[in-house]
Amino acid sequence: MPTPVGTPRERCLRPPHAAWPRHTTKGWETMSIGTIPRFPLATLPTPLHEAHRLREALGGPERCPRILIKRDDLTGLALGGNKARKLEFLIADALRKGATAVITTGAVQSNHARMTAAAARLAGLRCSLVLTTSVEDPPIQGNLLLDHLLQADVHLVPAPPDKSLAVDAAVDETIARVAADLESRGERPYVIPVGGSSGVGALGYVAGTLELVGQLANAGEAPTRLYYASGSRGTQAGLVLGAKIYSAPYQVYGIAVSGGGADKDARALENVAEAAAMLGVPPQVTESDLITDEGYIGEGYGIPTPECLEAIRLLAQTEAIFLDPSYTGKAMAGLIDHVRRGVIGPDETVVFLHTGGVPAIFAHGTRLLE
């Protein structure tokens, strides 16, 4: 992270990052992603690592493509993860709008909630978290432990029975109550949607794509696919829009970790349209660009499948990289299955975007060894 200069509010209003060029795409004069206010939170660029040992374990060059792992688990903000990229834009937006507090929501082991609480600390904002739980007294472990260490104001509500990530009425009511309470005390709350998935949040992975496309070009790589774990779809919105704007060589291939495909497609397209408008480019993304494979969800969000557990162990034992049981384990299970079934060939190169989530390992304990 660059050395911070000035107050948080001054910092997010600073001039655009000098290293980021203005982009002109297919004749459209675009507003560079570098001109949009951004509050520095992440340590960038994250490494791009070739997983040689994993390739060997999956059959070697005869059977397995080359796999490049983009280490967004190493974004640096409070144990890392993809939300740091979104939060750079979301927190800047909150500060510009004069917010004094942020409110967000997610499951009790939400990585997004933990990273929002951390970002709020760095920006001098209060943070309230509305977290859904399927048990009455969830163990104070993993992300929830970190939320408390960060002294976020935690509100627990019962999880909707289908374990989807969908925000339900009880969550909306609690957010409204928390917001009203903050306002009555003279605070100005800014509500960040679940997963940080909004047009502003999607800018994080437009910028992330610019970074990755640059790394690939420097390394002379042209991967055919990018695999990643898809939840609330803000990452997808940024990745697909970024892939169009910066002419990425790869197809963006999401492995779903929860259901609700049709509604989420609509939301992703909304996020794309908003982000594109902020950048001054046409949305140029259609439903056919939103590839989300729902074949690896298993019983539901947050419930690891046997293949997910296998993927977690395999990555630990080959690359000493930890995956998480809710997101990246399932995404890697999808990639491994595609290798084994020959959906992707040994002559290809693919990118696996490691979106983080590692603290949730500690809320599962030895069940991960089963």
Q: Which is nearer to ligand PLP, 103 or 115 (CB)?
A: 115
Q: Which of 32, 110, 247, 258 is catalytic?
A: 110
11 or 132: CB nearest ligand PLP: 132
227 makes contact with ligand PLP (CB under 6 A) = no
**Which residues ranging from 185 to 214 are in contact with ligand PLP (CB under 6 A)?**
195, 197
Indicate whether 328 belongs to the interface with ligand PLP (CB under 6 A): yes
Q: Is 110 a catalytic residue?
A: yes
Residue from 327, 333, 338, 350 that binds ligand PLP (CB under 6 A)?
Answer: 327
CA nearest neighbour of 243 among 231, 226, 221: 226
Q: Is 51 in the site for ligand PLP (CB under 6 A)?
A: no
**Interface segment toward ligand PLP; rule CB under 6 A; list 13-21, 80-88, 169-177, 281-289:** 80-88
82 touches ligand PLP by CB under 6 A:
yes
The rounded radius of gyration (Å) of the Cα atoms in the chain is 20
CB 230 → ligand PLP: shortest distance, Å? 5
Residues 99-118 that bind ligand PLP (CB under 6 A): 111-112
Residue type at position 91: I
Tell me if 357 contacts ligand PLP by CB under 6 A: yes
- How many residues touch ligand PLP under the rule CB under 6 A: the total is 21
Instruction: Name the one range near ligand PLP by CB under 6 A: 12-20, 63-71, 151-159, 229-237.
Output: 229-237
- Residue range at the interface with ligand PLP (CB under 6 A); choices 119-127, 153-161, 230-238, 273-281: 230-238
Q: Which is nearer to ligand PLP, 142 or 195 (CB)?
A: 195
> CB under 6 A: which stretch of 139-147, 215-223, 228-236, 271-279 binds ligand PLP?
228-236
With contacts defined by CB under 6 A, name the span among 15-23, 89-97, 177-185, 351-359 that binds ligand PLP: 351-359
CA angle (229 as vertex; 123, 84 as ends), nearest 5? 10
Residue 233 is a binding residue for ligand PLP (CB under 6 A): yes
Among 70, 271, 324, 344, binds ligand PLP (CB under 6 A): 324
User: Any idea which residues carry the catalytic annotation?
Assistant: 110
Binding stretches for ligand PLP (CB under 6 A):
81-83, 111-112, 195, 197, 229-236, 324, 327-328, 355-357
